[in-house]
Amino acid sequence: MKGIFITFEGPDGAGKSTIINMAASKLKNSLVTREPGGIDIAEQIRRVILSTNNTAMDPRTEALLYAAARRQHLIERVKPALAAGKLVLCDRFVDSSLAYQGYARGLGLDEVWQINQFAIEQMMPDLTIYFDVEPSLGLSRINKNKGREINRLDLENLQFHEKVREGYHILLDRFPYRMIKIDASASIEEVLQQTLEIINEKLENQPSM
Ligand SMILES: Nc1ncnc2c1ncn2[C@@H]1O[C@H](COP(=O)(O)OP(=O)(O)O)[C@@H](O)[C@H]1O
Ligand SMILES: [Mg+2]
């Protein structure tokens, strides 16, 4: 595998999509992607997960389907790009399943890790940049975009997102060599600069790129 695989993690509103695209425009030979990434089979699986008809879906079924969609995106999009020597920047990956479903939803980090290992076969990211923000800040950024106040449902959401953040912090402890935390409450310019510094340092240590 010649390329470098970097994933971006963190809660909604942390700035992942904003920064990943800004960073890509400054990085040679990069590809930005996210699951399901327009991959037909992965899109079909995602439709099953999200369909309002499927209220009977068991949480483990859901976790398996996410892992299945992840594999297809990995095989069809990520692997060929890495084989072509690209710098692949992926907006969310396995750590999202671990933090959201494994930890916050309570399926168990180890259980979700196991099914994802089957799906990705050791193809872990070379580097994961975790965008850390207070969930209330992430949420308020998103709501600002929509031009509305935070409501009661958002507050319920907030507790869930506090758990997600706790989950990510556990992952930071578990994978200290792969995961780097950025303070994503800083300005877009600062977060972008830090992101580029981290990525460029990684590239310098990878003579193949
Ligand atoms: N560092 C930042 N400071 C202030 N606003 C930001 C910052 N990063 C992103 N935003 C804004 O917050 C909103 C959510 O950003 P987005 O990149 O979509 O987050 P994510 O992809 O992590 O959910 C957007 O309106 C974006 O312009
Ligand atoms: Mg996004």
Quick: pLDDT tens for 80-95.
999 999 999 999 999 9
pLDDT of residue 144: 85
Which residues line ion ligand 2, judged by CB < 5 Å? 16-17
Q: Atom 1 in ligand 1: which residue has the minimum CA distance?
A: 188
Q: E strand or H helix at 79, and its extent? A: helix 79-83
For the chain, what is the radius of gyration of the CA atoms?
A: 17
pLDDT of residue 154: 73
CA-wise closest residue to 104 among 170, 166, 11: 166
Residue appearing with tokens 């942390």 = 14
pLDDT of residue 1: 63
Query: How far apart, in whole angstroms, are the C-alpha atoms of residue 72 and residue 45?
Result: 10
Probe ligand 1: pick from 7, 18, 140, 144, max atoms within 8 Å of CB?
Answer: 18
pLDDT of residue 151: 72
Query: How far apart, in whole angstroms, are the C-alpha atoms of residue 97 and residue 78?
Result: 18
Compute, in angstroms, the gap from residue 207 CA to the centroid of ligand 2. Answer: 31
Q: Atom 15 in ligand 1: which residue has the minimum CA distance?
A: 15
Three-class DSSP category at 127: strand
Query: How far apart, in whole angstroms, are the C-alpha atoms of residue 209 and residue 201?
Result: 12
Probe ligand 1: pick from 95, 141, 165, max atoms within 8 Å of CB?
Answer: 141
Pocket of ligand 1 (CB under 6 A): 10, 12-18, 141-142, 145, 187-188, 191
Per-residue model confidence as pLDDT tens digits over 121-172? 999 999 999 999 999 999 999 988 777 676 776 777 889 999 999 999 999 9
